[in-house]
Amino acid sequence: MRNARKAILNACLAPVDAIRAAEYSGDYTARLARQEDRKTLPFGLVWAYYCESKGIAPDGAWLDEVKAYERDVLSRR
């Protein structure tokens, strides 16, 4: 579920209209530039805010919780 939400958020942030407009007009240089600009969109910041607003750990931070669970709970089984 988490990866699906990340993919949907990433798709929503993409400048699809600008990329399509450039492609339909035959301006492939602008299309390439928009696609490259997409790579630097603030996706990580938006995702971190979403995680914080839902009270869950953002990427990377949850791994420490999993390791602690494995060490404290799973090792006793």
> Which range (11-20, 49-58, 59-68) has the least confidence?
59-68
Q: What is the pLDDT of residues 31-53, one digit of tens each?
A: 998 888 888 788 888 888 888 89
Q: How far from 2 is each of 7, 45, 47, 50, CA to CA, in Å?
A: 9, 16, 11, 11
pTM: 0.53
